[in-house]
Chains A and B, each alone.
Chain A
């Protein structure tokens, strides 16, 4: 057997681990800090969903408010125009009445 071959066999030979090796390794694994990357991902998704919902809510509130204002403005326009039209008709009817009286 060549000395190199002998050394290689020595190096690759099966060895029995020292007593308590498995417990020590498992203890070290347990002691290692955990990575919470999955938790952070869910938190980010939640924050995004919340901000989206809030945005949609605010937008709807604003458009409802605008619709109410436009409704009021439309009612105001009609109120003013109908008032003017009503008075105009009063004046016109009076003129027509006086015209009829004059023709008799």
Chain B
């Protein structure tokens, strides 16, 4: 019996470590002090569950988005906006850069085009060939954004969401919940985007 408990405890510890591994520490004190506007979101546990349940019921949420929502364990976002240009330094954002350069983090894209100030990096946290999380870091002259998603994230669906497919956050409050228990049939995201 004791052995079973020990195994369960070790398993739980591994799960916890695995989740923390994909979760970044968002302690960006310098940026918070310098920024004129800060958006900070920590969605996990109940705060994630409540919103997720509601989204699952909403019309217009496509099946891939539902699937993505069902797998996410946490979403952490920081967006810093500055009135002036480049008010922050590399040192200020280094806590994030150092973490995504750490073990298990795989750089998918890191783009900095010549003549443009924006620099975007997309990183995956991979463990035993499984994606356990994704982090998107975007730097611009007046903005620094980092979104850390913990859970097996499908990049295609995330990309679709970025194109506005699925449901708009602004329209959410006015979106109907279908009557009865029946959920709407999954829609073809491409068909919906072409209608727009």
Of B82-90, B117-125, B185-193, the one contacting chain A is B117-125
Q: How far is the CA of A48 from the CA of B112 in the complex (A)?
A: 70
**Which residues of B does A touch, CB under 8 Å?**
41, 43, 47-48, 50-55, 58, 68-69, 75, 77, 79, 109-111, 113, 118, 120-122, 134, 136, 138, 145, 147, 149, 155, 158-164, 166-170, 172-173
Tell me how far the C-beta of B20 lies from the nearest C-beta in chain A, rounded to whole angstroms. Answer: 19
Sample of 19 A–B contacts (CB below 8 Å): A70-B53, A71-B54, A71-B172, A74-B55, A77-B55, A79-B41, A79-B169, A80-B149, A81-B161, A82-B162, A85-B159, A85-B161, A88-B136, A88-B162, A89-B162, A90-B118, A90-B120, A91-B111, A91-B122
A61 sits at the interface (CB 8 A): no
- Given A69-B50, A83-B136, 4 further pairs, Cβ under 8 A: A78-B166, A85-B161, A87-B147, A88-B155
Residues B121 and A91 in contact, CB atoms below 8 Å apart: yes
* Interface residue range, chain A: 20 to 34
Contacts of A91 in B (CB 8 A): 109-111, 120-122, 136
Contacts of B75 in A (CB 8 A): 76-77, 80-81
Q: Which of A73, A85, A92 contacts B54 (CB 8 A)?
A: A73
Residues A78 and B158 in contact, CB atoms below 8 Å apart: no
**Which residues of A does B touch, CB under 8 Å?**
66, 69-92, 94-95, 97-98
Known contacts A87-B138, A94-B111: A81-B54 contact under CB 8 Å: no
Contacts of B58 in A (CB 8 A): 74
Tell me how far the C-beta of A89 lies from the nearest C-beta in chain B, rounded to whole angstroms. Answer: 4
Tell me how far the C-beta of B118 lies from the nearest C-beta in chain A, rounded to whole angstroms. Answer: 7
Residues A90 and B138 in contact, CB atoms below 8 Å apart: yes
Q: How far is the CA of A84 from the CA of B122 in the complex (A)?
A: 9
Known contacts A76-B51, A91-B121: A85-B163 contact under CB 8 Å: yes
